[in-house]
Amino acid sequence: NPPAPQGSRRCSFLASLSLQVLGREGPFPLILLPQFGGYWIEGTNHELTSIPETESLPSPTSKVKLECNHMARIYRKHFLGKEHFNYYSLDTALGHLVFSLKYDVIGDQEHLRLLLRTKCRTYHDVIPISCLTEFPNIVQMAKLACEDVNVDRFYPVLYPKASRLIVTFDEHVLTNHFKFGVIYQKLGQTSEEELFGTTEESPAFAEFLGFLGQKVQLQDFKGFRGGLDVTHGQTGTESIYCTFRSKEIMFHVSTKLPYTEGDAQQLQRKRHIGNDIVAIVFQDENTPFVPDMIASNFLHAYIVVQAEKPCSESTLYKVSVTARDDVPFFGPPLPDPAVFRKGLEFQEFLLTKLINAEYACYKAEKFAKLEERTRAALLETLYEELHVNSQSMMGLGGDEDKLENGSGGSGGFFESFKRVIRSRSQSMDAMGLSSKKQNTVSTSHSGSFGHNNPDMAKTAGISLIVPGKSPTRKKSGPFSPRRSSAIGIENIQEVQEKRENPAGPQKTPDSGHVSQEPKSENSSNQSSPEMPTTKNKSVPPWPRHSASSAPQCTSHSKSAQAGLLGKPEGPAHQLHSQQ
């Protein structure tokens, strides 16, 4: 004969359990694992006979720690508000990449802090610079964080609000709001219908709810509502709510959700508790709970609490925990025996266990796949936002992008800036404040400035060279021909450009082409020259330092610069920003 379906086997097992419970005396364990497996259990010893009444029970507050996704907080902790650089690229295998790097000094040693985001996970590494025999370029830095990276180059993020977008992406997995189910199991109840059909609350259950949190009226409730109706009263009139370590918790209590006459499944109750991920099962008498007693795609973990000597000064709570096999173990661990005295210590332990249980359930296969799809979609959106806004800042986006960014379709931020400067210089000419020579300020399309007018240089305070254009330049200026990058880790050799007619723009082969890949390698916080990229893994040898080289560094000591110079590179489009 073919095997019976899983559902019918579960029902026959529950029917057998019901006969056993009703047919013989206990004590029964708090939890019985399903006949066909699929769950693990923690906390099976609840014997107190060997412990004298005067002896205190094990304290649950020894290192009660909330678990969380520490990787999601790294950008805010180490990068946000500090000098760092953001890049993006597209990998054929890893998908969209967003890469952050930062020069760090830990103790008295220099490090590179790397943070690489892929569609599957985030990679974080801190590399001591002293361990690098040759200094890597941006692609090689990304390979240090994840060796599977296979791209030709990374592109700089130039959008001023990029850090806000990046930290929002990183922290999308964090929350300060939680909702948990609370199911009341009376003596002899061994089915889902019986659990959700209970309407009254025993004194022991009422005592436990008061210990768990505060009773709140749902009408016009201003805190976290956990999906409950606070306007029309369609999900009951009251519930249990608490705050814990800056987090808000709403409990879906089975006896406080609406009861529907004639509905055996009590869908009004199950649609809330069945969509929770973690639930408490409270037993005021000895009846075992079976994890698959409740059919739900979301419920993955249960914390079962059974009262001993309720409504007295010596109330005790026995605790067992069960979760699906693909849910990793979560702390804090239960003591042995797993029995607690009623009090603030047990409340802190229980709430911590609930929150950690939810975080652990997110790692189960079903939730992990959902999170991976969500993460991939959010990362693609972040990539597009960074790319479009960076292009628009350089005046390289399409007309729609420029209009959206408030530039009126006239070339983006840099073009608008150049128009303001040209207009200002013309006004100064009319007032007789400018030089008699007409070439004091270049009027080329590139918008670069001459160096013959010191007053003008002070007024402008910035020299611009726009990618895709060939500006007129002079050898002398605030920067020597050889200058360091903004993070002081690589020297770039600037090749002299041949001066052409300053009155007309000179197009490079890329100047008339707008692709999905920008042609400059500038940082998101301040501009840096184009970083060299290689298709092989070899790194160019370190150059010797000549007396003529004078690297400019914005935030590091001269000794740090001297140890972090890379090989000179070809001509790079630059943006010199006066701090």
**25 vs 155, higher pLDDT:** 155
What local confidence, expressed as pLDDT, does residue 217 receive? 94
pTM for the complete prediction?
A: 0.66
Domain match, 183 and 42 both: yes
Mean pLDDT of 351-374: 94
Domain match, 249 and 182 both: yes
Query: Looking at residue 311, which CATH number applies to its domain?
Result: 3.40.50.11210
Q: What is the pLDDT of residues 190-226, one digit of tens each?
A: 999 999 999 899 999 999 999 999 999 999 999 999 9
How far is the C-alpha of 302 from the C-alpha of 273, rounded, in Å?
A: 12
Selection from 358-367, 509-518, 537-546, 560-569 with the highest mean pLDDT: 358-367
Read off the amino acid at residue 271. Answer: R
**Lowest-confidence pick of 148-157, 317-326, 440-449:** 440-449
What local confidence, expressed as pLDDT, does residue 18 receive? 52
Domain match, 169 and 280 both: no
Domain match, 227 and 345 both: yes
- Residue 521: pLDDT above 50? no
Mean pLDDT of 304-325: 94
Measured over the CA atoms of residue 409, residue 410, residue 411 and residue 414, the dihedral's sign is negative
Query: Looking at residue 118, which CATH number applies to its domain?
Result: 3.30.1120.160
**565 vs 344, higher pLDDT:** 344
Residue 134: pLDDT band with limits 50, 70, 90: confident
Helix, strand or coil for residue 561? helix
CB-based contacts of 246, cutoff 8 Å, min separation 6: 176
Percent of the chain whose predicted confidence (pLDDT) is above 70? 61
**567 vs 311, higher pLDDT:** 311
How far is the C-alpha of 163 from the C-alpha of 76, rounded, in Å?
A: 9
Domain match, 334 and 358 both: yes
What local confidence, expressed as pLDDT, does residue 387 receive? 96
- Residue 83: pLDDT above 90? yes
What local confidence, expressed as pLDDT, does residue 535 receive? 42
**492 vs 418, higher pLDDT:** 418
How many structural domains comprise the chain? 2
Domain match, 271 and 184 both: yes
Domain match, 167 and 194 both: no
Residue 247's H or E segment, with its range, is strand 247-253
Mean pLDDT of 476-486: 38
What local confidence, expressed as pLDDT, does residue 443 receive? 41
Last residue of one domain, picked from the residues 156, 173, 190: 173
Last residue of one domain, picked from the residues 362, 379, 408: 362
Domain match, 191 and 302 both: yes
Domain match, 122 and 192 both: no
How far is the C-alpha of 121 from the C-alpha of 73, rounded, in Å?
A: 14
**496 found inside a domain:** no
Domain match, 192 and 281 both: yes
CB-based contacts of 273, cutoff 8 Å, min separation 6: 181, 183, 196, 252, 254, 257, 279, 294, 299
- Residue 286: pLDDT above 60? yes
Last residue of one domain, picked from the residues 340, 362, 384: 362
Domain match, 12 and 110 both: no
Residue with tokens 């370590």: 245
**291 found inside a domain:** yes
Show the domain range for 270.
Answer: 7-46+175-362
Residue 381's H or E segment, with its range, is helix 365-393
Mean pLDDT of the chain: 75
Domain match, 110 and 256 both: no
- Residue 351: pLDDT above 80? yes
**19 found inside a domain:** yes
- Residue 464: pLDDT above 70? no
Q: What is the pLDDT of residues 38-66, one digit of tens each?
A: 999 999 998 876 555 544 555 554 567 88
Three-state SS letters, 157-205? CCCCCHHHHHHHHHHHHCCCEEEEEEEEECCCCCCHHHHHCCCCCCHHH
Mean pLDDT of 485-510: 41
